[in-house]
A and B are shown apart, each in its own frame.
Chain A
Amino acid sequence: MNAVLRVTSILALLAVLTACVPPTPIAREAEAPPATPTPAVEVVTLQIWDIWTAETDSQVIETLHQEFEAAHPGVKINRVVKAFEDMKATAKLALSSPDGPDVAQINQGEPDMGALVKAGLLVNLTPLAEQYGWFEKISPGIVARNSFTADGKVFGEGNLYGMPPTAELVGVYYRKDIFAELGLSIPKTFAEFEAILETLKGAGHVPITFGNLDGWPAVHTYGEIQNVLLGAEGRQYLDDLIYARGNVGWDVPVNVAAAAKLQEWVKQGYFTPGFEGISYDDSWSLFNNGQGAMMLTGSWMSSTFAAGPYGDKMGFFLVPPETEGGRKLSIGGTSTAYAIRVGSPHVDLAAQYIDWMMSDRAAELWLQNKTVPVQPVDPALVAPGTLFADLVSAWNFMNETDAVGHYLDWATPTFYDTITAALQELLALRITPEEFVQKLQADYAAFLEEKASR
């Protein structure tokens, strides 16, 4: 998801590594509460592997680490920063080694977290979560996607294995100045949203800046339309679908209808002309430079857009439901999650570390960094009227109403390839909405069959 992040990751990693030189012990006693009354000067090193490669993110972590060390005399944090892909590739080996990291940031989903649970490498966090009150900080939908049964076979229920510190949400960035000029306001229903598309098109604007050369941006566009059409039934249906339980499939009319709606938008010319040949990075760059009235994408773009030439003219809203006030999911998720290695000699300390990374202080730092923290946020902490304020209130709404939806490419291990290829065909009008859904169903059915045969 963090396409931008990945591009700069190498540079950022270098920057982080050079910044990682052990900080000189500045007057720590001043703020250190007497956390451990025993004067034993036993030095404990806590190994942390994380993926905060971006410099600003890394600074938040460094600050939190310094404060944690200050509050726990004798504890030293040894931090290793890995790029997202790098972590994916090395986590398995590192966690099975006896001197591996105590805490590592693990990607959710069957191929990553699921495989590690299956191999018995991750600590069950449920008792710790109850002890520290973590379940009050994340909504049931987020708990589910960090949960597996103890054998790692069933996703979405059972024990908690990871705690994600920050949030991701997908919605619509819009240009307030263009909306004002045309007398438009934030839509409350999907019909109003489509009317806005029509008005913008008529006024000569590109309604939705879009680039699908990379394939995955359309997964969000399709997913949002699907969420609207599913309405209140989305929670049950998509949970069952993504966690492969309850015998549901892709071949239901609502998925066909969503695909038809997407094709209708293509035919109406609501997307950037030539979107098939425009990469995601080029598309956000176009929007950031004033080409287009809206862009449907994720919160990971917010700090770039806020700092861009139209930063003070941008707002954000969630794709509205079919009927005003109706319930629906919105695509969203979290950062990858902190997990504890089985065999770590410092499980209690590791739990305290995770608790600190989920604390109010951490949330405050993330907000300063223009990143939405996962737990409920006091809106007073954010400057009103800004793009970031819109994002925070949208996330609060999703968290309160348990409306955090799914990334559809999680459906099966092969689904990313299947859905991106199928969506490119759908958007090129080479296949019908029915054929599109059949392609997805074929992949899904094969996955269920394989799963059952194991």
Chain B
Amino acid sequence: MLRVSRIRTRQPDIGQRSWTAYLYILPSLFVYAVFVLWPVLDTLRLSFYEWDGVSTPRLIGLSNYLRLLEDQVFHIALRNNLLFIAFYTLFPISFALFLTALMTRRRFRGLSFFRAGLFVPYVMSMVVVGVVWRWIYNPAFGPLNQLLQAIGLGSWARPWLGDFNLALPAVGVVGTWVQYGFCMVLFIAGVQRIDETLYDAAKIDGANELQQFWHVTLPGLYSEISIALVTTLITALKIFDLVFVTTRGGPGNQTMVVSLWLYNNAFQINRVGYAAAIAVVLTILILLISYVVLTMRLRAGREEA
């Protein structure tokens, strides 16, 4: 039998912490703690050790971090990550804005077909994308060089992924190809949110298509653009799979990126502590950039309101 008084004592505690709620999230919190929080903290701890993965770890303080300052490959990798931002963030966002302007202000046949088709690259696994583009770029039988030869531009044919000057742009273009579909879908959805009367007003004021885009569409897409900015920036900073499949960081270290250098250290040459330090630096970098972009967005949001 239930005692009524026990039920009566329970009051809606607004503003107070409801400990029962924590009980509900406990199972998933446990899983999260074991598989995410604990490894993250352990990585931080390991970054202060020298450890080969087998023997007893040796505490070496900040040596791993000091070594990072002198590691030339790490510097090259960091520079390449910044270059990849152009291909993963700037180009896709600009290109997606262009396509959005094209697709939303004009109605034409097969529009949804194009929308879906242009989104496909984003849905595919990066490894599959990498393998396919490795074929496309293949100097011996790849379609790209064959096409160039067929249209009389044979002298432009290159060993793309093996060329010291072209390898990074070649991998980068694949990134652009993958990323713009995501940005485009985001922007198209955003445009539908913009009040049509704003366009009407602009037209009455004599604004042409370009001016409408600049003064109505672009400000209206502000929050979508900042979301695209954060996600693509993070992707650019943690890029791994595409480089791993296409060039493994080569030729030389022309396409080496931070996460690949991390992988090499941790799993190829057993410098687990050093790799942990790289991971920590990469995480801080990503947090920092996300923080900057998000605060910019909040501030802009407040100004808007």
Contacts and interface: CB of A to CB of B under 8 A. Distances in A.
A215 B264 CA distance: 14
Interface stretch (A224-232, A272-280, A323-331): A272-280
A282 B140 contact: yes
Contacts of B141: 282, 286
Interface in A197-215: 211-215
Contacts of B248: 214-215
Interface stretch (B191-199, B217-225, B267-275): B267-275
B39 interface: no
B138 A275 contact: no
Given A111-B270, A416-B268, A274 B250 contact: no
Interface string B158-178: 111111100000000000000
Interface string B237-271: 00000000001111111000000000010011111
A413 B252 contact: no
Contacts of A416: 268-269
B192 to A, nearest CB: 43
Interface string A409-449: 00001101100111011001010000000000000000000
Top 8 A-B residue pairs of the complex, sorted by shortest distance between their CB atoms: A276-B162, A274-B139, A277-B159, A277-B162, A274-B159, A424-B251, A276-B159, A413-B269
Contacts of B53: 92, 115
7 contacts: A92-B53, A212-B162, A282-B140, A421-B253, A424-B251, A425-B251, A425-B252
Contacts of B73: 417
A118 interface: yes
A387 B158 CA distance: 35
Nearest to A281: B134
A85 to B, nearest CB: 8
B66 interface: no
Nearest to B157: A274
Nearest to A415: B269
B112 interface: no
A399 B282 CA distance: 49
Given A115-B53, A212-B162, A430-B164, A278 B140 contact: yes
A89 interface: yes
Contacts of A420: 250
A363 interface: no
A185 to B, nearest CB: 29
Contact of B139 (A214, A277, A422): A277
Nearest to A431: B252
A274 B52 CA distance: 38
A119 interface: yes
Given A282-B138, A420-B250, A275 B270 contact: no
B55 interface: yes
B159 A116 contact: no
Contacts of B138: 277-279, 282
B123 interface: no
Interface string A1-16: 0000000000000000
Interface string B134-161: 1001111100010000000000011111
B269 A414 contact: yes
Given A413-B270, A421-B250, A428-B251, A278 B52 contact: no
A238 to B, nearest CB: 21
A214 to B, nearest CB: 6
Contact of A424 (B139, B252, B268): B252
B292 interface: no
A181 B140 CA distance: 25
Contacts of A119: 54-55
Contacts of A413: 269-271
A319 to B, nearest CB: 24
Nearest to B267: A89
Nearest to B137: A277
A411 B159 CA distance: 30
Nearest to B246: A213
Interface string A256-285: 000000000000000011111111001000
Contacts of A422: 252
Contacts of A279: 134, 138
A7 to B, nearest CB: 11
Contacts of A89: 267
A116 B53 CA distance: 10
A421 B253 CA distance: 6
B137 A111 contact: no
B252 A430 contact: yes
Contacts of A276: 139, 159, 161-163, 251
Contact of A273 (B137, B139, B247): B139
Contacts of A272: 140
A277 B281 CA distance: 32
Nearest to B170: A277
B25 to A, nearest CB: 32
Nearest to B145: A274
A212 B53 CA distance: 31
Contacts of B264: 417
A84 B103 CA distance: 50
A92 B56 CA distance: 13
Given A214-B248, A274-B159, 12 more contacts: A111-B52, A211-B140, A214-B250, A274-B139, A276-B159, A276-B251, A277-B159, A286-B140, A414-B269, A416-B268, A416-B269, A430-B164
Contacts of A428: 162, 164, 251-252
A92 B160 CA distance: 40
Interface string A207-249: 0000111110000000000000000000000000000000000
Contacts of A116: 54
A115 B52 contact: yes
Contacts of A275: 139, 159, 162
A162 B140 CA distance: 42
A436 to B, nearest CB: 11
A213 B40 CA distance: 34
